[in-house]
Structure 1
Amino acid sequence: MDAIAPTIGNSKAVTAETVDALIATITGAVKKGDTVQLIGFGSFPTGARAARLGRIPATGAEIQIPPEKTVKFATGKAFKDAVNGA
C-alpha cells in the first residue's frame, strides 16, 4: 500500500480498503466460474484439474487426489510489454 497510496492521493487505510474490495470482487467472480479481465494487466480464467492418483514421497503409499478448480493467469499485452521494456 505504501507505493499505491501516494500515486492515487489517498491515505494508506483508504487504499487498503479499495484494494481489499477489488480482490474480494475478483475472488467472488472467479469462484462463480467467471473469467476476470483487467485490461492491460491480464485475465484470471478458471480451469479444472481431474482426480488423479498420487504418492506420498516418504512412504510410497498411493493416495487418491480429488478433482479441484484452478485459477490461471494470462498476462495482458501491455503488462508483458512493460515488463520486457518494449
Structure 2
Amino acid sequence: MTKSELIDKMAKEAGISKVAAGAALNSFMDGVSKALKKKEGKVTLVGFGTFSKVRRKARKGRNPQTGEPIKIKAGNVVKFKAGKKLKDAI
C-alpha cells in the first residue's frame, strides 16, 4: 500500500476529505519522527506496536561486488515491534 492509497482509505473510512486525511497522516509521521529524535526516543501505540530507536555499533562488512572488507559506521536505526492485536490480525 502506498501513501496515497492509505490517505484515500483514511478519508473514506473517517468520512473526511483527502486533504484532511493527508494532513493527519503527515502530522502523525512528523510526530513519530520528532519523538524518535529524542535521546530515549520511543513511540508506543497500544495494540498496534512500538517504534524505538536503537544504536548500532560500528562494524566490519564486505563489499559484495569486490569482496574487499569495509568499515560500517555506527548509527541509529528505527526498530518496530508489532503489538498483540496486529500480530493476531496477520
Q: Which bin holds the TM-score, normalised by the shorter protein?
A: 0.7 to 0.9
Which residue number corresponds to residue 74 of structure 1? 81
CA distance in 2: counterparts of 1:64 and 1:80, whole angstroms: 36
> 1:50 corresponds to which residue?
57
Aligned residues: 83
1:35 alignment counterpart? 42
Runs of 4+ in 1 over 4 A off after TM superposition: none
Mapped partners of 2:46, 2:67: distance in 1: 46
Q: TM-score, normalised by structure 1?
A: 0.88
SS of residue matched to 1:3: helix
Identical aligned pairs, as a percentage? 39
Report the aligned-residue RMSD.
Answer: 1.1
Equivalence map 1:7-18=2 (5 Å):
7-18=13-24
AA in 1 matched with 2:54: G
Instruction: Say yes or no: does 1:4 pair with 2:43.
Output: no
Q: Is 2:67 the partner of 1:60?
A: yes
Structure 2 portions without partners, runs of 5+: 1-6
Q: Give the residue type in structure 1 aligned to 2:19.
A: A
Give, in angstroms, the shift of residue 78 of structure 1. Answer: 1.4
TM-score (norm 2): 0.84
Structure number having the greater helix percentage: 2
Structure 2 CA distance for aligned equivalents of residues 79 and 56 of structure 1: 37
* Structure 1 unaligned spans of 5+: none
Deviation at 1:20? Answer: 0.4
Whole-Å separation in 1 of the counterparts to 2:73 and 2:25: 33
